[in-house]
Amino acid sequence: MSLPSAAYNDDLISFAYPTVRKRWPTILEGAISDLQEHVRKDPSTKQCGEHVIGKIEGLLGAFKNDEELQPFSKEDISKFPYLQKYNTELAQIGASKKVSWHSAPWLYSECYLYQLLESWFKETQLLREYDVFESLKNQTFRKSSFGVLELCRRYEVLGKQLSAGNTEKDALKLLFFEFADISLWGNASDLSLLAGNVTLEDIKSVQGAEVRRKNEEKILVNDIEQAWRQIQGKDARIDFVLDNSGFELFADLCMALFLLDSGLASKVVMHCKEIPWFVSDTMPKDFLALIDQLEDPSFFDKIHESEGERQSITYLVSKSKFYVESGQISTQHHPFWTSCEEFWKLMQQKDLCEELRKSDLIIFKGDLNYRKLTGDLNWDNTTPFAVAIQQLSFLKLPILALRTCKSDVVVGLPAGVNEKLVETYKNMGNEIGEHWKASGKWAVISFCDGNN
Ligand code: F6P
Ligand code: MG
């Protein structure tokens, strides 16, 4: 079967077009000011900070002049062998097309961008481990206090019921759907969207139960029932291939707590990124920080005010700590998650593949994971999910994608839905109707049992 073309940065209709021209420069300018601030606070890092700032400024110039992407140096490769994949792929793409910032394949160039940034930090002595997006991640999570408290309260009531052990199967099923929904819409609070035109008000507006209920019909594909069937009768291990830290991670943690409390799962593994990635993605240290932040009244000053609030938060925090200490919730990381490769290539990562085979359900969170599952190709929107994920559909890995749509690729839609939404989105006053797919207002829940 011949595959459709990839999304390219020079496609006027693609969401790649504004991402490359507006969002990336905004993200990088933000990174420069945060780094400057860091250097002001810790003058010992001045020289290292200036080195990286100089490189980022050079990159902003390269965007403007639409320069070609360069392979990583031999030195980079010797230190970080996985970067070889980037060079191999760059050479392949370059064989048929000039690979410049404005014309490269979107997925490749966006992954390359974050690796490039990381390689400059790694060149320094004092900023090797520095996460340039950490302060932005924290600032935004702080502003999610309302959504956090609402979920803590919901979890407290349920957690206590579940621990009493008298919840019927039908009720458990509905709760499973509810927590999957919470985790799904948690993905709408993505920081890298802040570089576009989404305000914090917009973020708050996707974090409450009321909004989730209203958004039910915005879930265009909903395979959650199949995922439910997948974990029945098992002492399940459930894996999350995480996306963003902050509120989305908090929502994922709530789902993990529910799965363990209810006995639907006995183990949850959270897969993190090894380097700062697409601004807000979760690194192992972000997971640990989240639990500390929840119980720190100076972090969330607005939600530790009453005794009741404190109790709900403490309940969730102590449950989380218990499961982390007992090893029932654990984190892992692997360089494959920050590679430029489609997830179809997972079978070449023997160690990771073996690890994931132990899982009864692998939940891929968010938009970028969905792009990598489907290769970020221009699939016809009615293509079945199992076809779009190619080799992954027969690796015996049960996959559930929980994704709010923030880029062009969407598959598994009933015929006519895309066309209708293009019209709807235009009628909402947007110039490019196709951008409904990138607006974060719609979502898909897609499942494949891995036995195709
Ligand atoms: O920078 C744009 C963008 O790359 C999306 O289109 C992308 O996939 C998204 O950011 C990150 O979304 P998520 O955090 O859900 O993966
Ligand atoms: Mg992300």
- Output the DSSP codes for 226-245: HHHHHTTTS-EEEEEE--BS
**Does 367 contact ligand 1 (Cβ within 6 A)?**
yes
* DSSP calls for 305-318: SSHHHHHHHHHHHH
Beta strand 361-365 with 399-404: parallel, antiparallel or unpaired?
A: parallel
190 lines ligand 1 (CB under 6 A): yes
Q: Take atom 7 of ligand 1 and give the residue whose Cα is closest.
A: 368
User: Could you tell me how many helices (H) and strands (E) the chain has, helices first?
Assistant: 19, 7
Which residue's CA lies nearest to atom 10 of ligand 1?
192
From the CB of 381, is ligand 1 less than 6 Å away? Answer: no
Report CA Rg, the chain.
21
Ligand nearest to the CA of 111: 1
**First-to-last CA distance in the chain?**
16
Inter-residue contact 360 to 236 (CB < 8 Å): yes
CB of 439 sitting under 6 A from ligand 1:
no
Beta carbons of 123 and 54 less than 8 angstroms apart: no
Regarding the beta carbon of 115 and ligand 1, being less than 6 Å apart is answered: no
Tell me the whole-structure pTM to 2 decimals: 0.95
* Cα of 26 from ligand 1 centre, angstroms: 14
Q: Which residues have a Cβ under 8 Å from the Cβ of 378 and sit 6 or more positions away?
A: 4, 5, 6, 7, 408, 409
Ligand 1, residue 187: give the atom nearest the CA.
15
What is 52-111 written as a DSSP string? HHHHHHHHHHHHHTTPBP-PPPHHHHHH-TTHHHHHHHHHHHHTTS--BTTTSBHHHHHH
State the greatest distance between any 2 C-alpha atoms of the chain, in Å, as a whole number.
64
Q: Which residues surround ligand 2, an ion (CB under 5 A)?
A: 243-244, 278, 281
Q: What is the chain's pLDDT, residue by residue, as a tens digit (452 residues)?
A: 789 999 999 999 999 999 999 999 999 999 999 999 999 999 999 999 999 999 999 999 999 999 999 999 999 999 999 999 999 999 999 998 889 999 999 999 999 999 999 999 999 999 999 999 999 999 989 988 888 999 999 999 988 888 877 778 888 999 999 999 999 999 986 645 455 555 556 656 666 677 777 788 899 999 999 999 999 999 899 999 999 999 999 999 999 999 999 999 999 999 999 999 999 999 999 999 999 999 998 999 877 778 888 899 999 999 999 999 999 999 999 999 999 999 999 999 999 999 999 999 999 999 999 999 999 999 999 999 999 999 999 999 999 999 999 999 999 999 999 999 999 999 999 999 999 999 999 999 999 999 98
